[in-house]
C-alpha cells in the first residue's frame, strides 16, 4: 500500500501549487489525478488573473472591486488574504518562468478586465491558465514529486473521525488501491459538467465536492453558478472577456452594440443583458463579438488562442468576421467549506481550488479572480496540510477499514444491465440543469428539478454497466462521476430553492430583487441520513467547522 | 524564358552527372540560363542561418544585378534553404536592411527583396507548361515504372512551398512522370526525408530511411525512382549499398535525377544523361524502356 | 443532423486476437467533432470503446488521434471537414506508440520521458528589485508561443526520425527545450545547449519540416529546432561530447565555404570522420571506391575556388564575429 504524508488529489493549478508548497516543507507528497496534470481544465483559462501590482493599484482596491462584484456575499478575511497574496503569487509564477506578456519597458503587462477599476490582470495572451499550469508542472517535475496519473479516487478512508487516506481506481489496470496519508488534499476542480451547455472539460464532475459531501461536510453557496457571457454557440470554447476591455464590440445580430460603452460590467449583469437580448430565440439566439476593431496585430499578440479556436471550431476568422457568442455555464462559485488554510471540518482533509469555498467570490466572481484563487489557496492548503501531517501520528488504520476495494467494483458489475444506462442518466441530468437551474430560475422550475433529480437518483441506484472490462473502462469511470454529479446537483438545487431572492449570479424570476435584510447569508447544504439538510449562516460570521 | 541559374555545389561535386544533364535539357527546351558563378553555397541547412542568410542575400543581389527576376535551382535543398532565407528577407524589411548594410554594402550590392526562386521542376510545370513540354518529347517512356521521391525541401514548410494557388506543386513529380509516358508508382515515403542531413549525426537512422523508402518503392514494383534533389540522390543512390547491408536485404533500385528522366524522354541517350555514373546502375530500368521502344 | 460511418480501431489487451476496425454509424449535428462522434458511440452503442479527451476546445492535448490517416486533435477536428467521399471516418491511435486499449496509448514512453529528459524547468536568478523580472516582450513572446504547445505529441507522430528511432528526443520535447533555453530568466543557457547537443538530441533532427505541418497549434517546431542549433553554433557548441563527428562536419563545411566559396564534398567526408580516425576513414573506402569506379569522383580530385570566394569569406568572418 502506497503511504505518503500528504496526498494531493487533482493535478490542476490548485493541486500542483499545493503539492509544491507541501514538498517545500520536506514532507513526502504524492499527486494523484484523474487525467495527466497538463490535461487539466485550467489549460482552458484564457484572459488573465488579478494581482494588484501596479503602483496605482492596491490589495485594498482589489478587495473592494471583488466585494462589489460579489454582491454582498464575500468574506472579508478571505478577500484580504487573497488580495494580499495574489500579487506575491503572481511574482512567484513570473519568477518560475511563466511567459507573461510584457510592457515595452519589460515589466509585467497588466490588462483591465470587467469590474476592475484599474488594469490588474497579469496575462499570457489568451492562454494564461495554460502557461500557469505548464509552469507549475515543470516545477513538479523538478521536485520529482511522484504522480499517479489517471487514477480516480472512489472514496475517502475515514477512521476515528479523521481522514486517513483514499481508495482509488487505476484506469490503466482497473485495480483499486488504498493510499495511506494523514493529510489528504482535494483539488479536484469544478462540476461544470452538471450542464450540457457549459465551458467545462470532461473532467469537471465535482468528484471532490461529492467525496466531502458524503463524508458529512457542508457545501457552501452551491446555488451560485457563474455563466460566462462569451461562450461559443455550439461548442465549449469561450472568448476571454479581455476582448471587450481591449476594444472588441458586442452587437446584436442586427449589428447594434448592446453594451453601454465604458462598462464596468460584471459578468452576472452581462449575462442578463445577453439573456434579455436573446429572449425567445432559443438555441438560435446569439450575439456577435466583433474583434475587428482590435486589428490583426493585437489579435496575433493577445488573442492567438481565440484566433485558432474560432477558426477550427466555429469556422470564423476573427480578424474578418464577428464571432457568434452566447452565455455558457462556466463554474460553480460554491464548494466544500474550508478555512483560509484549506482545512475542512474533517481533520486530515483539506481542499483548495474550484472544489473549495472560502467566500472570495461571493455571489459573483470578479473576472480574473478565479485562476489565481487556485494558486493562492492551493499554496496555503498545501503548506497547512504539510504542517498537519508532520504533527499527526503515523496512519495506522486497521486493514479492515478498507473492505476489499475490488468487491465494490464487483458489486457494480453484478448489477443487471438494461435499457437504462449511465450515459442516459448523465444526459438527462445535464438537460434538466440547463432547463431549470440555469441563468434564470424560478420556484416552479426548481421544484420540478428536485423531483426529476430524485427520480434520476433512483434510476442511478439500479443502473447496470454494459461493459465489464478492467482496462480503461470509461463506463465505470462515468458511473463514479455520475454519482458525484448527482450529489452536486442535489446541493445546487437545494440551495437555489432556499435562496428566495436574486443576488449576483443567482437570479430568480419569482424573486427578482435582492433581499439584504434576510439574505446576507450563505447557504450550506449537507448530506443527512434522511436526505439533504440546508442551513444558512450570516456573511462574515466566524467559521466554526 | 530567361533565368539566373544556380546549379549548387552537389551538381558539380557529389553528383557530377546532374549538371550536364540539366544544362542539356535546358538547351533542348530553349530555357535561357545565365549561370551565376561567383556566388556561394546556400548553407544546405547545415550552416547557421547567421552565416547563410547573408551569403544567400548576396546571391539574390547578384541575380538582380544581372537584371533577372527569377533564379532557377536544380537542387531541392538549395531551393528550400534559399526560399526560406528569401522569405525572411522579404517579410522582414528591417532584417533585409540590416543584411544589406552589414554584409553586402562592401561589395556595392543590395538585395531589393523582389527575386523569385524556382526549382527546375516548377519552371517546367508552371513557366514552360505541360503542353509545350509534351510537344517536345520524342521518346515516351512507356513501360517504365517510376516512383516519385520529393524529399522534404520542395514540399515543406507547405505554406511557403505550396502557397494558395500553387497546390499543384504537391503532385508535379507524378504529373511529370505521367507526362513523359511512364507509370507512377505511388508509395508512402515519397515526401519523407531521405536521411541525408543526419548522415553524420546518426548514420543508422539515416540508412534506415534509405532502405525504408527505396525498399518500399521497389516492393511496389518501381523500376526506378526520380528525385529533384541531388542530396537525396547522394543518400538514396550513393549509400544504397550501405543501407542494403544494414537492412540485410538487397534493394537495387536505380535513382534518376529529375533532368535525366526528362532528358531521356526528350531523346537523349543514357550516356548523354551520364547515367553510367550512378552507384546503382540504371541499366535494367533503361533497357526496359528500350524494349518498349522496339515493340 | 448528419449520418457518418465511423471505423474505429479496437484493441483490448485482454483479448488481443480481437483487434479490428469496428464500424459504427453515428448521427450528429453539423458542428460535431471527432470526439463528439466517439462519445456518441460510447454512450449509445458501445461503452467498451476507450479513448482520451478532456477539454473539447484544443487546449489540453489529450485527444490526439489519427483520423483518415492524418494526425489531428479529435476535439477541434469537425467530422464534416474530414469525412471521406465514401462517408467514412477512420479513427486510429497515433503511430509509433504502444497502444494500451483501443485509442488509448502510452504517452509515458512516447513523450513524457523525453520531456523530463530536457530538464524543462527554469533555473532563475535571484528575483529583481521589485520581485518581477524585467524581460523584453519580443523575447518572451517567442517563449510564450513555444509554451502554447499542448503536448499532444502530433509533431512526434509525424516526425521522420521518431518513425525509425524511438530514442530520438523528438520535436515536442525540443520545443519544450526551446522554451527553457530561450527564457531570458534562465541561468543554464549554455548547459542546456550542450546537453541537447548530445546524441539523440537536436543534431539528430533531419529538419525535414514535417513537425511544422503536423502541429495543430501552429508553433512551427522545426523552426524552433533551427533556432536552438543557431544559438548553439553562436556559442561555439557544434556538437555534444559524444558526437564529435557532428562538430567536425560543421567545421569542415564552414572552412570549405570560407576557403573556396562552395562546398568541397570530398574534403567534407574525410574531415567529418577526422584525419586521425583510421577506422572511420576506412569505412569511407567502399563508398569512395564505388564512386571512383563509376566515375563519380574525379581523379585526381580537384576542388576549384569560386570567383566570389573572397567576398564570401569576409561575410562569414563578419557573421562569426557578430554574436547577437
Instruction: Quickly count: other Cβ atoms within 10 Å of residue C13's Cβ.
Output: 13
Portion 181-200 of B in contact with C at CB < 8 A: 192-193, 195-198, 200
Q: Do C42 and A474 touch (CB under 8 A)?
A: yes
Residue C234: partners with Cβ closer than 8 Å, 6 or more residues away:
B48, B50, C323, C324
Q: Pairing mode, if any, of strands C2-10 and C20-28? A: antiparallel
Do chains C and B have 3 or more beta-carbon pairs under 8 angstroms? Answer: yes
Per-residue DSSP letter, A180: E
Residue B282: partners with Cβ closer than 8 Å, 6 or more residues away:
B224, B254, B255, B256, B270, B275
Do chains A and C have 3 or more beta-carbon pairs under 8 angstroms? Answer: yes
What is the spatial distance between Cα A359 and Cα A351, in angstroms, rounded to a whole number?
Answer: 14
pLDDT band at C304 (very low <50, low <70, confident <90, very high): confident
The answer to whether the bond into A401 is cis (omega within 30° of 0) is no
Average pLDDT of the segment spanning A474-497: 98
pLDDT number for residue A264: 54
CB-CB neighbors (< 8 A) of B54 in chain C: 315, 318-319
pLDDT number for residue A280: 61
Q: Do C47 and A423 touch (CB under 8 A)?
A: yes
Q: Do B238 and C287 touch (CB under 8 A)?
A: yes
The residue whose grid cell reads 527554469 is C122
Q: What is the pLDDT of residues A51-109, one digit of tens each?
A: 999 999 999 999 999 999 999 999 999 999 999 999 999 999 999 999 999 999 999 99
Average pLDDT of the segment spanning A241-245: 93
Residue A214: partners with Cβ closer than 8 Å, 6 or more residues away:
A155, A156, A487, A527
CB-CB neighbors (< 8 A) of A313 in chain C: 31, 33, 57-58, 76, 78
| CB-nearest partner of A38 from C13, C49, C151 | C151
pLDDT number for residue C272: 92
Instruction: Quickly count: other Cβ atoms within 10 Å of residue B180's Cβ.
Output: 22
Q: How far is CA A65 from CA A62, A69, A83, B142, in A?
A: 5, 6, 11, 80
CB-CB neighbors (< 8 A) of C185 in chain A: 95, 97
Range in A243-247, A406-410, C237-241 the model is least confident about: A406-410
Which among A99, A170, A473 is the top mutation candidate for probing chain C, defined by the most C β-carbons within 10 Å of its own β-carbon? A99
What is the spatial distance between Cα A76 and Cα A367, in angstroms, rounded to a whole number?
Answer: 18
Per-residue DSSP letter, B11: T
Q: Do C207 and B44 touch (CB under 8 A)?
A: no
What is the spatial distance between Cα B277 and Cα B255, in angstroms, rounded to a whole number?
Answer: 11
Q: Which is nearest to A488 in space by CA: A358, A349, A351, A334?
A: A334
pLDDT number for residue A249: 92
pLDDT number for residue B295: 41
Portion 245-284 of C in contact with B at CB < 8 A: 245-246, 248-250, 253-254, 257, 261-266, 272
| CB-nearest partner of C253 from B46, B55, B205 | B46
Q: How many residues are listed for chain B in this entry?
A: 295
Give the rounded percent of residues in chain B with a pLDDT score beyond 90.
95
pLDDT band at A433 (very low <50, low <70, confident <90, very high): very high
Q: How many residues are listed for chain C in this entry?
A: 324
Phi, psi of B85 (to 5 degrees): -65, -45
Q: Do C254 and B51 touch (CB under 8 A)?
A: yes
CB C38 within 8 A of CB C51: yes
Q: Which is nearest to C174 in space by CA: C162, C186, C163?
A: C162
Average pLDDT of the segment spanning B27-32: 97
Range in A241-255, B148-162, C222-236 the model is least confident about: A241-255
Q: Do C261 and B102 touch (CB under 8 A)?
A: no
Paired residues of A525 in beta bridges: A219, A534
Q: For chain C, say whether B58 makes contact (Cβ under 8 Å).
A: yes
Residue B272: Cβ-neighbour burial (10 angstroms; 0-12, 13-18, 19+): middle
CB C225 within 8 A of CB C207: yes
Residue A195: partners with Cβ closer than 8 Å, 6 or more residues away:
A225, A328, A329, A430, A433, A434, A438
Average pLDDT of the segment spanning C75-94: 96
Q: Residue A312 pLDDT more than 80?
A: yes
What is the spatial distance between Cα C131 and Cα A90, in angstroms, rounded to a whole number?
Answer: 10
Portion 51-70 of A in contact with C at CB < 8 A: 53
Portion 196-215 of A in contact with C at CB < 8 A: 201-203
pLDDT band at A285 (very low <50, low <70, confident <90, very high): confident
Paired residues of A310 in beta bridges: none
For chains A and C, CB pairs below 8 A equal 188
What is the spatial distance between Cα C122 and Cα C188, in angstroms, rounded to a whole number?
Answer: 8
CB A303 within 8 A of CB A318: yes
CB A241 within 8 A of CB A230: yes
Q: Which is nearest to A274 in space by CA: A312, A233, A223, A307?
A: A233
Q: Residue A293 pLDDT more than 50?
A: yes
| CB-nearest partner of C245 from B155, B200, B276 | B200
Which among C49, C147, C180 is the top mutation candidate for probing chain A, defined by the most A β-carbons within 10 Å of its own β-carbon? C147
Q: Which is nearest to C140 in space by CA: A122, A368, A103, A243?
A: A103
Q: Mean pLDDT highest for which of A274-278, A344-348, B288-292?
A: A344-348
| CB-nearest partner of C311 from B47, B107, B277 | B107
pLDDT number for residue A496: 98
Do chains A and B have 3 or more beta-carbon pairs under 8 angstroms? Answer: no
Q: What is the pLDDT of residues A133-157, one digit of tens each?
A: 999 999 999 999 999 999 999 999 9
Compute the nearest-CA separation of A36 from chain C (Å): 9
Instruction: Quickly count: other Cβ atoms within 10 Å of residue A390's Cβ.
Output: 15
CB A370 within 8 A of CB A361: yes
CB A1 within 8 A of CB A164: no
Q: Pairing mode, if any, of strands A162-170 and A110-111? A: unpaired
CB-CB neighbors (< 8 A) of C12 in chain A: 469, 471
Radius of gyration of chain A (CA): 22
Q: What is the pLDDT of residues B209-266, one digit of tens each?
A: 999 999 999 999 999 999 999 999 999 999 999 999 999 999 999 999 999 999 999 9
| CB-nearest partner of C249 from B152, B200, B209 | B200
Q: Residue A543 pLDDT more than 70?
A: no
Q: For chain C, say whether A99 makes contact (Cβ under 8 Å).
A: yes
CB-CB neighbors (< 8 A) of A139 in chain C: 121
Compute the nearest-CA separation of B29 from chain C (Å): 27
Q: What is the pLDDT of residues C7-22, one digit of tens each?
A: 999 999 989 999 999 9
Per-residue DSSP letter, B150: -
pLDDT number for residue A327: 92
pLDDT number for residue B291: 55
pTM of the model: 0.96
CB C54 within 8 A of CB C152: no
pLDDT number for residue C128: 54
CB-CB neighbors (< 8 A) of B62 in chain C: 308
Compute the nearest-CA separation of C229 from chain B (Å): 7
CB-CB neighbors (< 8 A) of A127 in chain C: 59, 148
Q: For chain B, say whether C236 makes contact (Cβ under 8 Å).
A: no
Average pLDDT of the segment spanning B143-158: 96
CB C294 within 8 A of CB C306: no
CA dihedral sign, ordered A174, A176, A182, A185: positive
Which among C170, C272, C294, C305 is the top mutation candidate for probing chain B, defined by the most B β-carbons within 10 Å of its own β-carbon? C294
pLDDT number for residue C303: 84
Q: Do C254 and B47 touch (CB under 8 A)?
A: yes
Compute the nearest-CA separation of B138 from chain C (Å): 28
Q: Residue C324 pLDDT more than 70?
A: no
pLDDT number for residue A395: 65
Average pLDDT of the segment spanning B82-86: 98
What is the spatial distance between Cα A365 and Cα A113, in angstroms, rounded to a whole number?
Answer: 12
Q: Which residues of A are the active-site residues?
A: 272
Amino acid at each position: 500500500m502506497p503511504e505518503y504524508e500528504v496526498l494531493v488529489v487533482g493535478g490542476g493549478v490548485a493541486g500542483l501549487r499545493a503539492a509544491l508548497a507541501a514538498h517545500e516543507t520536506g514532507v513526502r507528497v504524492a499527486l494523484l489525478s484523474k487525467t495527466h496534470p497538463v490535461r487539466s481544465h485550467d489549460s482552458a483559462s484564457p484572459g488573465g488573473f488579478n494581482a494588484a501590482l501596479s503602483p496605482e493599484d492596491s490589495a485594498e482596491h482589489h478587495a473592494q472591486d471583488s466585494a462589489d462584484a460579489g454582491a454582498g456575499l464575500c468574506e472579508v478575511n478571505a478577500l484580504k488574504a487573497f488580495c494580499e497574496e495574489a500579487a506575491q503569487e503572481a511574482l512567484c509564477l513570473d519568477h518560475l518562468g511563466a511567459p507573461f506578456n510584457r510592457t515595452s519597458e519589460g515589466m509585467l503587462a497588466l490588462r483591465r478586465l470587467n469590474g476592475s477599476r484599474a488594469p490588474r490582470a497579469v496575462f499570457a495572451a489568451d492562454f494564461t491558465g495554460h502557461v500557469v499550469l505548464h509552469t507549475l508542472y515543470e516545477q513538479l517535475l523538478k521536485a520529482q514529486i511522484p504522480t499517479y496519473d489517471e487514477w480516480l479516487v472512489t472514496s475517502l478512508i475515514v477512521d476515528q473521525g479523521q481522514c486517513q487516506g483514499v481508495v482509488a481506481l487505476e484506469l490503466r489496470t482497473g485495480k483499486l488501491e488504498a493510499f495511506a496519508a494523514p493529510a489528504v488534499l482535494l483539488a479536484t476542480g469544478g462540476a461544470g459538467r452538471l450542464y450540457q451547455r457549459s465551458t467545462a472539460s470532461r473532467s469537471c464532475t465535482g468528484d471532490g465536492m461529492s467525496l466531502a459531501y458524503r463524508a458529512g461536510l457542508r457545501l457552501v453557496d452551491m446555488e451560485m453558478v457563474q455563466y460566462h457571457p462569451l461562450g461559443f454557440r455550439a461548442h465549449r470554447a469561450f472568448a476571454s472577456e479581455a476582448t471587450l476591455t481591449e476594444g472588441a464590440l458586442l452587437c446584436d445580430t442586427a449589428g447594434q452594440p448592446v453594451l453601454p460603452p465604458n462598462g464596468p460590467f460584471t459578468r452576472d449583469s452581462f449575462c442578463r443583458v445577453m439573456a434579455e437580448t436573446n429572449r425567445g430565440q432559443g438555441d438560435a439566439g446569439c450575439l456577435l463579438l466583433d474583434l475587428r476593431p482590435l486589428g490583426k496585430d493585437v489579435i496575433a499578440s493577445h488573442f492567438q488562442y481565440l484566433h485558432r479556436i474560432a477558426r477550427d471550431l466555429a469556422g470564423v476568422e476573427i480578424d474578418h468576421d464577428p464571432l457568434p457568442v452566447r452565455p455558457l455555464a462556466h463554474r460553480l462559485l460554491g464548494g466544500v467549506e474550508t478555512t483560509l488554510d484549506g482545512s475542512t471540518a474533517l481533520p486530515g482533509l483539506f481542499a483548495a481550488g474550484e472544489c473549495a469555498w472560502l467566500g472570495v467570490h461571493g455571489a459573483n466572481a470578479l473576472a480574473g479572480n478565479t485562476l489565481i484563487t487556485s494558486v493562492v489557496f492551493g499554496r496555503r492548503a498545501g503548506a497547512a496540510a504539510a504542517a498537519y501531517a508532520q504533527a499527526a501520528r503515523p496512519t495506522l488504520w486497521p486493514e479492515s477499514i478498507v473492505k476489499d476495494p475490488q468487491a465494490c467494483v464487483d458489486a457494480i458489475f453484478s448489477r443487471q444491465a438494461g435499457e437504462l444506462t449511465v450515459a442516459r442518466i448523465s444526459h438527462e441530468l445535464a438537460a434538466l440543469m440547463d432547463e431549470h437551474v440555469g441563468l434564470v430560475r424560478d420556484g416552479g422550475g426548481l421544484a420540478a428539478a428536485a423531483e426529476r433529480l430524485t427520480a434520476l437518483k433512483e434510476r442511478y441506484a439500479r443502473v447496470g454497466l454494459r461493459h465489464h472490462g478492467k482496462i480503461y473502462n470509461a463506463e465505470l469511470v462515468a458511473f463514479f462521476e455520475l454519482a458525484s454529479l448527482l450529489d452536486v446537483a442535489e446541493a445546487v438545487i437545494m440551495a437555489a430553492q432556499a435562496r428566495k431572492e436574486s443576488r449576483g449570479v443567482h437570479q430568480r424570476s419569482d424573486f427578482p430583487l435582492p433581499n439584504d435584510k434576510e439574505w446576507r447569508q450563505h447557504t450550506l447544504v449537507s448530506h443527512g441520513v434522511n436526505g439533504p439538510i440546508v442551513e444558512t449562516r450570516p456573511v462574515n460570521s466566524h467559521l466554526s467547522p | 524564358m530567361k533565368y539566373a541559374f544556380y546549379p549548387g555545389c552537389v551538381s558539380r561535386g557529389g553528383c557530377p552527372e546532374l549538371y550536364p544533364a540539366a544544362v542539356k535539357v535546358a538547351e533542348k527546351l530553349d530555357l535561357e540560363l545565365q549561370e551565376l558563378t561567383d556566388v556561394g553555397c546556400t548553407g544546405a541547412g547545415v550552416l547557421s542561418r547567421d552565416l547563410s542568410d547573408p551569403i544567400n542575400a548576396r546571391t539574390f543581389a547578384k541575380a538582380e544585378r544581372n537584371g533577372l527576376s527569377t533564379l532557377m535551382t536544380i537542387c531541392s535543398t538549395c531551393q528550400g534553404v534559399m526560399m526560406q532565407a528569401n522569405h525572411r528577407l522579404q517579410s522582414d524589411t528591417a532584417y533585409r536592411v540590416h543584411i544589406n548594410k552589414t554584409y553586402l554594402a562592401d561589395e556595392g550590392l543590395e538585395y531589393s527583396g523582389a527575386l523569385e526562386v524556382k526549382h527546375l521542376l516548377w519552371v517546367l510545370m508552371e513557366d514552360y507548361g505541360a503542353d509545350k513540354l509534351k510537344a517536345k518529347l520524342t521518346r515516351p517512356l512507356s513501360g517504365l515504372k517510376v516512383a516519385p521521391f520529393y524529399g522534404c525541401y520542395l514540399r515543406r514548410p507547405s505554406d511557403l512551398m505550396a502557397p494558395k494557388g500553387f497546390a499543384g506543386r504537391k503532385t508535379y513529380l507524378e504529373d511529370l512522370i505521367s507526362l513523359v509516358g511512364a507509370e507512377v508508382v505511388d508509395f508512402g515515403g515519397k515526401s519523407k526525408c531521405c536521411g541525408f542531413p543526419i548522415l553524420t549525426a546518426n548514420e543508422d537512422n539515416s540508412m534506415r530511411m534509405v532502405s525504408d523508402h527505396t525498399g518500399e518503392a521497389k516492393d511496389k514494383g518501381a523500376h526506378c525512382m526520380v528525385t529533384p534533389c541531388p542530396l537525396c540522390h547522394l543518400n538514396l543512390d550513393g549509400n544504397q549499398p550501405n543501407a542494403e547491408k544494414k537492412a540485410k536485404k538487397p534493394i537495387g533500385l536505380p535513382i534518376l535525377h529529375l533532368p535525366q528522366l526528362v532528358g531521356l524522354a526528350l531523346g537523349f541517350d543514357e550516356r548523354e544523361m551520364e547515367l553510367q555514373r550512378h552507384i546503382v546502375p540504371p541499366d535494367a530500368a533503361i533497357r526496359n524502356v528500350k524494349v518498349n521502344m522496339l515493340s | 443532423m448528419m449520418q457518418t460511418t465511423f471505423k474505429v480501431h479496437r484493441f483490448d489487451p485482454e483479448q488481443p486476437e480481437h483487434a479490428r476496425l469496428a464500424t459504427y454509424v453515428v448521427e450528429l449535428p453539423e458542428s460535431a467533432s471527432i470526439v463528439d462522434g466517439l462519445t456518441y458511440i460510447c454512450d449509445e452503442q458501445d461503452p467498451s470503446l476507450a479513448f482520451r479527451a478532456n477539454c473539447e476546445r484544443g487546449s489540453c492535448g489529450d485527444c490526439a488521434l489519427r483520423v483518415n490517416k492524418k494526425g489531428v486533435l479529435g476535439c477541434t477536428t469537425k467530422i464534416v471537414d474530414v469525412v471521406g467521399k465514401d462517408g467514412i471516418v477512420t479513427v486510429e491511435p497515433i503511430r509509433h506508440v504502444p497502444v494500451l486499449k483501443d485509442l488509448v496509448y502510452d504517452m509515458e514512453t512516447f513523450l513524457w520521458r523525453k520531456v523530463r529528459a530536457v530538464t524543462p524547468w527554469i533555473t532563475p536568478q535571484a528575483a529583481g528589485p521589485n520581485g518581477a523580472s524585467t524581460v523584453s516582450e519580443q523575447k518572451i513572446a517567442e517563449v510564450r508561443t513555444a509554451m502554447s504547445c499542448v503536448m499532444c505529441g502530433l509533431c512526434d507522430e509525424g516526425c521522420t526520425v521518431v518513425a525509425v528511432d524511438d530514442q530520438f528526443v523528438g520535436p515536442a520535447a525540443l520545443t519544450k527545450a526551446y522554451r527553457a533555453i530561450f527564457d531570458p530568466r534562465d541561468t543554464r543557457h549554455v548547459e542546456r545547449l550542450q546537453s541537447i547537443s548530445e546524441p539523440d538530441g537536436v543534431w539528430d533532427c533531419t529538419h525535414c519540416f514535417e513537425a511544422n505541418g503536423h502541429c495543430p497549434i501552429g508553433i512551427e517546431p522545426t523552426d524552433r529546432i533551427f533556432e536552438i542549433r543557431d544559438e548553439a553554433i553562436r556559442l561555439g557548441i557544434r556538437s555534444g561530447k559524444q558526437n564529435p563527428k557532428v562538430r567536425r562536419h560543421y567545421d569542415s563545411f564552414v572552412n570549405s565555404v570560407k576557403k573556396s566559396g562552395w562546398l568541397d564534398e570530398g574534403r567534407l567526408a574525410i574531415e567529418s570522420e577526422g584525419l586521425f580516425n583510421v577506422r572511420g576513414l576506412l569505412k569511407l573506402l567502399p563508398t569512395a571506391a564505388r564512386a571512383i569506379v563509376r566515375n563519380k569522383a574525379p581523379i585526381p580530385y580537384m576542388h576549384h575556388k569560386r570567383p566570389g570566394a573572397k567576398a564570401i569569406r569576409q561575410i562569414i568572418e563578419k557573421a562569426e564575429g557578430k554574436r547577437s
